[in-house]
Chain A
């Protein structure tokens, strides 16, 4: 007897988590695709988004939606600082320096958070977590449903933005061929700032959304960043649709694995998937759009 209801329940939980992964991975994949760089400090944007939401809602006494928006704006600004301080000085110098500079920033930020916020995990309250809906034997708290809805909404906004707006078209042009884009008069610096604004806002949203469900702690960005990288690699560097699909997929795989195999090793699933994929296809599942050969 296959426990279909249980599987479905775990899968739905996985979708919620997967949406969060997708949000984080989207920013990361945009940075990869448009700027050809790896941002190892991306998880800290997520972490700071969570803390920002937490403290904002504390000060405003529980206005969660406002806190979410505030966090997105604040972290978007932080994203611009990332670009100015960590990536712009190293533009065009290959991959290794930017990895090291963002790695250093990551270490700096999460230890800073450790100092400021302390290592005790925090719990965000929104008052919604207690209400549970049940449908076809699957139960979902309103909080989780909200996460799913907001995630989908943000993804839709991003999609519209990239496809329909001028800025979005400029970003896509830069991703395809930075030299031609420059010749067309596209300012790479503005594009870079925009990419980090979007990446920061999405990561912050992910942090804000996850806060009420799980605990907030300073090192939460590390594991999130790793998983986001796995999602990006699975979906293809720079592939926005791929990141969304892979994000949800990873969430579901993790959830099913944790539910049916072992919850202690939950985090290992992402690693295993990563190693398997990279072994079979070192360029990632879809790889990056081939630029100049040899």
Chain B
């Protein structure tokens, strides 16, 4: 009974999402929704590395940026179609994910955090200084969007309006999140968690931690790269200023407050922390301050995040209440 309810609920939600753009008059609002989708992908990708496997990656914005720049350069300098550019950018980011992941294999805790932070900053410096390739601090303008999808000689999706981008992102998110969900519930996902709990013990239950850790970094890099690639062809302008340490902190806040290591946590976190700055426009200067504060408070008082509150805290209180009766 419960299973069918879940499926029905999911289908209704999906229908709502598909119908959504037609109900929104304000294009800016749609823009925010699209941006929240990008952050859902980013938060979910960081969650794979930091939430599930317990390895703090403070250079995650670098993957985001590598995806964006790769896609841009593939399309603009090599003339590849955006439809090929995106997945290729994802693969290029995977390459860098493995490149960074290998030296990080033996590191953990603070060492890992600092090293990934260093890599993140080095990547950003590269974006700033490899001017012939990246155009430096000025960034790259005029990035083309995806070519229109033609279906049986009639225009299906032209990427002139935000609505098309919305549907593309919706499709991307659905596919990526389904993959992530499958991973989290699989033997590989359990291996991730085991490494988080006790890496040495994980080896002694037969997990090749080296292989799994690299796979983990590669996956996190891939989804971040896809998000970056979409961003590039949506906003049509990228610069090193987007892929900073602040960005990584924001994504980390989303994961921590949403719920480290959960599936829905990063989704909730991504949406909330994209809408929140909009609602709190008036106190924009306090934004990072509030994020920092929330991150510290969350990890101390609600380490399982918002999702944790719904999944364990509330049911436990209810159970307690029932038992006392």
A contacts B directly in the complex (CB < 8 Å)?
A: yes
Interface residues of A (CB under 8 A from B): 32, 38, 40, 85-86, 89-90, 95-97, 99-109, 111-112, 115, 222, 226, 229-230, 233, 265, 268, 271, 274-275, 278-279, 282, 284, 294
A271 engages B121 (CB within 8 Å): yes
Q: Specify which of B110, B285, B300 is in contact with A38 (CB 8 Å cutoff).
A: B110
Q: Specify which of B109, B121, B297, B303 is in contact with A99 (CB 8 Å cutoff).
A: B109
A100 engages B299 (CB within 8 Å): yes
The answer to whether residues A99 and B56 also contact, given A107-B289, A229-B114, A282-B106 and a CB cut-off of 8 A, is yes
B292 engages A107 (CB within 8 Å): yes
Q: Specify which of B107, B111, B249, B296 is in contact with A105 (CB 8 Å cutoff).
A: B296
Query: Interface residues of B: mostly helix, strand, loop or mixed?
Result: helix
Q: How far is the CA of A112 from the CA of B110 in the complex (A)?
A: 24
Q: Which residues of A contact B113 (CB under 8 A)?
A: 38, 40, 99
| B291: Cβ under 8 A from any A Cβ | yes
The 4 closest A-B pairs by CB, nearest first: A107-B292, A104-B295, A108-B292, A104-B296
Chain B minimum-CB-distance residue to A274 = B118
Q: Specify which of B115, B286, B288 is in contact with A278 (CB 8 Å cutoff).
A: B115
Q: Which residues of A contact B12 (CB under 8 A)?
A: none
Q: Specify which of B108, B114, B288 is in contact with A226 (CB 8 Å cutoff).
A: B114
Q: How far is the CA of A99 from the CA of B298 in the complex (A)?
A: 13
Q: Which residues of A contact B289 (CB under 8 A)?
A: 107-108, 111-112, 115
Q: Which residues of B contact A96 (CB under 8 A)?
A: 54, 56, 109
Q: Specify which of A95, A229, A274, A294 is in contact with B200 (CB 8 Å cutoff).
A: A294
Q: Which residues of B contact A105 (CB under 8 A)?
A: 292, 296
B114 engages A111 (CB within 8 Å): no
Interface residues on B, range: 35 or more
Q: Which residues of B contact A106 (CB under 8 A)?
A: 292
Interface residues of B (CB under 8 A from A): 54, 56, 103, 106-111, 113-115, 117-118, 121-122, 125, 200, 245, 249, 252-253, 256, 285-286, 288-289, 291-300, 303
B296 engages A268 (CB within 8 Å): no
The answer to whether residues A107 and B291 also contact, given A96-B54, A278-B103 and a CB cut-off of 8 A, is yes
A246 to chain B, nearest CB (A): 14
B303 to chain A, nearest CB (A): 6
Chain A minimum-CB-distance residue to B249 = A107
A63 to chain B, nearest CB (A): 32
A225 to chain B, nearest CB (A): 9
The answer to whether residues A104 and B292 also contact, given A90-B300, A96-B56, A99-B56 and a CB cut-off of 8 A, is yes
B61 to chain A, nearest CB (A): 14
B296 engages A278 (CB within 8 Å): no
B205 to chain A, nearest CB (A): 14
B130 to chain A, nearest CB (A): 13
A233 engages B114 (CB within 8 Å): yes
17 A-B residue pairs with CB within 8 Å: A40-B113, A100-B56, A100-B299, A104-B296, A104-B297, A108-B292, A108-B293, A111-B289, A115-B286, A233-B114, A271-B118, A271-B121, A271-B122, A274-B118, A278-B111, A279-B103, A294-B200
A229 engages B125 (CB within 8 Å): no
Q: Which residues of B contact A107 (CB under 8 A)?
A: 249, 288-289, 291-292, 295
The answer to whether residues A99 and B110 also contact, given A112-B289, A115-B286, A268-B125 and a CB cut-off of 8 A, is yes
B109 engages A275 (CB within 8 Å): no
Q: Which residues of A contact B108 (CB under 8 A)?
A: 95
Chain B minimum-CB-distance residue to A32 = B110
Q: Which residues of B contact A99 (CB under 8 A)?
A: 56, 109-110, 113
A17 to chain B, nearest CB (A): 19
Q: Which residues of B contact A40 (CB under 8 A)?
A: 110, 113
A132 to chain B, nearest CB (A): 34
Chain A minimum-CB-distance residue to B125 = A268
Q: Specify which of A95, A104, A108 is in contact with B109 (CB 8 Å cutoff).
A: A95
Q: How far is the CA of A95 from the CA of B125 in the complex (A)?
A: 29
B295 to chain A, nearest CB (A): 3
Chain B minimum-CB-distance residue to A36 = B109
Q: How far is the CA of A107 from the CA of B256 in the complex (A)?
A: 14
B253 to chain A, nearest CB (A): 8
Q: Which residues of A contact B54 (CB under 8 A)?
A: 96
Q: How far is the CA of A95 from the CA of B295 in the complex (A)?
A: 16
Q: Which residues of B contact A32 (CB under 8 A)?
A: 110
Could you list 14 further interchain pairs (A-B, Cβ under 8 angstroms) beyond the known A100-B295, A107-B288, A265-B125?
A32-B110, A38-B109, A90-B300, A95-B110, A96-B56, A103-B249, A106-B292, A111-B292, A226-B117, A226-B118, A229-B110, A233-B114, A275-B103, A282-B106
Q: Which residues of B contact A268 (CB under 8 A)?
A: 122, 125
B111 engages A86 (CB within 8 Å): no
Q: How far is the CA of A279 from the CA of B54 in the complex (A)?
A: 21
Interface centre among B56, B245, B253 (most CB of A within 10 A): B56
